[in-house]
Amino acid sequence: MFFLLKVFCLDFSHFACHLLSTDFMSIIRMTSTIRKAFPPRKIVCSYLYIIDRFDFQVKQNKRNKRAGKIPEEEFLCVGINNSVAAAYNNGVETITVTQSGSSSPYMSYLYGKMTDRFSFLPADCGLENDGDRTTMVFRSEKKYCPYIRNYTEENIADVIAVGYKYHFFDKLLSLPLLDAEKRDILITALVAADYPEDREYIRRRIRGLGEYCIDGVFNFRLRELKSRWNGIAEYIPAEFASSSLQSFLEFLIGESTGKVFLKEGKLYDEEYRVLNRSALIGRASPVREVILSGADNIYCFGAPDPVTLEFLKKYYKEKVVFC
């Protein structure tokens, strides 16, 4: 513990000097690369993790020498995304997600989610594209991968249950009696209506796949789900008007539970995490985010923008609290 506390107080230069005092010289050659990749006093968790592993390796090397064994080099590479990609004797695992298109908002969403959630891990995450497909590759130690894989599947399910579903209905429904704003509200509400069930179904269908090809999953593994969405679209008449939208939203809000917090254009859930699923259907907006949240109580801190304010007063009424 004293060792870690001592290192915690060191800046990056002293950190490099501290490593020089060890006999793990094969690692020291990499410190100039680390210095360029990471600024001083950043990613402290990664520093502590590296130092802890080096300290362990030094002691292990001494034991190996006494036993007449040749020490094995553990550390293989430095990550490129404010973290460390390491391969130890127990190996690494790669999680790969692909999507058609050279510039995919879905893949950008996934990349942001993954790098934000696991920035403290010794891992490497990158986006690649060959002009036809975009690929996200996430590498980390095997012991972390069950958690990483589970989180990956959760967010792939969001991509399909929100992004794909919105565009599915957007293509099928003409809705000539609704203006663009109300049409967007209706389609977003249709996405939100069965979101928990859709998401869970998708997660079951993709669980444990070797590689996640999002468009392939949607086209070939979710036919039952698409059939259900088609059935919903058939129930929406072309004559769907504003009065019908009002009734539908009142029903949807009546079935909703939970609370969210709106502040400075951002929506937060009950654990004060930013909600941004609306980014999967185009331009992120508080109105879309409120609908997708499935909450029936909205707490507003500060004045919302005029469009959001009008929407909340019209559809959520007494369920909105202005703080």
pLDDT 10s digits, 238-284: 999 999 999 999 999 999 999 999 999 999 999 999 999 999 998 88
| 218 and 100 assigned to the same domain | yes
**311 is a domain residue:** yes
Q: Which domain, by its residues, includes 174?
A: 93-242
Confidence at 180, pLDDT banded by 50, 70, 90: very high
| 208 and 151 assigned to the same domain | yes
**85 is a domain residue:** no
| 101 and 236 assigned to the same domain | yes
| 122 and 227 assigned to the same domain | yes
**321 - beta bridge partners?**
299
| 276 and 154 assigned to the same domain | no
- Cβ atoms of 239 and 177 closer than 8 Å: yes
Of 215, 242, 269, which residue sits at a domain end?
242
Confidence at 101, pLDDT banded by 50, 70, 90: confident
| 287 and 217 assigned to the same domain | no
| 7 and 119 assigned to the same domain | no
Number of domains in the chain: 3
| 114 and 169 assigned to the same domain | yes
Say which amino acid occupies 312: L
**82 is a domain residue:** no
| 173 and 291 assigned to the same domain | no
pLDDT 10s digits, 124-178: 899 998 888 999 999 999 999 999 999 999 999 999 999 999 999 999 999 999 9
Judge residue 118's burial from the number of C-beta atoms within 10 Å of its C-beta, 0-12 exposed, 13-18 middle, 19 or more buried. buried
pLDDT at 2 over 50: no
Measured between alpha carbons, how far is 32 from 117 in angstroms, rounded to an integer?
27
